[in-house]
Amino acid sequence: MKTDVCSAISIATTHYALYDTGDVTGVDKVFAPDLIDHNPVPGAPTGIEGMRMLIGEVRIGFTDTHHEIVFQRELPNGWVVSHWRMTATHAEDAFGAPASGRPVSFNGTDIVRVADGRIIEIYHVAERLQMQVQLTA
């Protein structure tokens, strides 16, 4: 497994652009086909198909999506930890909540492992309760 630290951070960061642009075709460039997703969204498929579904769901449900990296650090063996903030407008039904037109802002943390130019493993935790409160308040 060959990992370049700069490219590991670059790839870890690039995956947020997929959410912001809704580029589900880019999933195949950023994530390995045998991606291990340690905590997929409940009800979503696992692995790369789960990431494709999640990115599509975010893009369908939200407009003006923007991810800001709050903190990012590379670790040994291709691991990168990223703490991020997503802002958007809830324009369509998403994650079980009907469209509200409300702005949302919530944080999350991802730990990814990059090898051979793609993310091969991911742990992701988003403050979904914070998001749900903003969507339904």
Looking at residue 99, which CATH number applies to its domain? Answer: 3.10.450.50
- pLDDT of 119 reads 97
Q: Report pLDDT for 2.
A: 46
pLDDT at 6: 53
Which of these, 42, 45, 73, 96, lies nearest to 31 by C-alpha position?
45
For 59, the domain range is 5-136
Domain count, the chain: 1
Q: What is the pLDDT of residue 111?
A: 98
Query: What's residue 5's pLDDT?
Result: 45
Q: How far apart are CA 98 and CA 9, in angstroms?
A: 35
pTM over 0.75: yes
Q: In what order do the strands lie in the sheet with 31-37?
A: 31-37, 118-126, 103-115, 79-90, 62-74
Low-confidence ranges of the chain (pLDDT < 50): 1-5
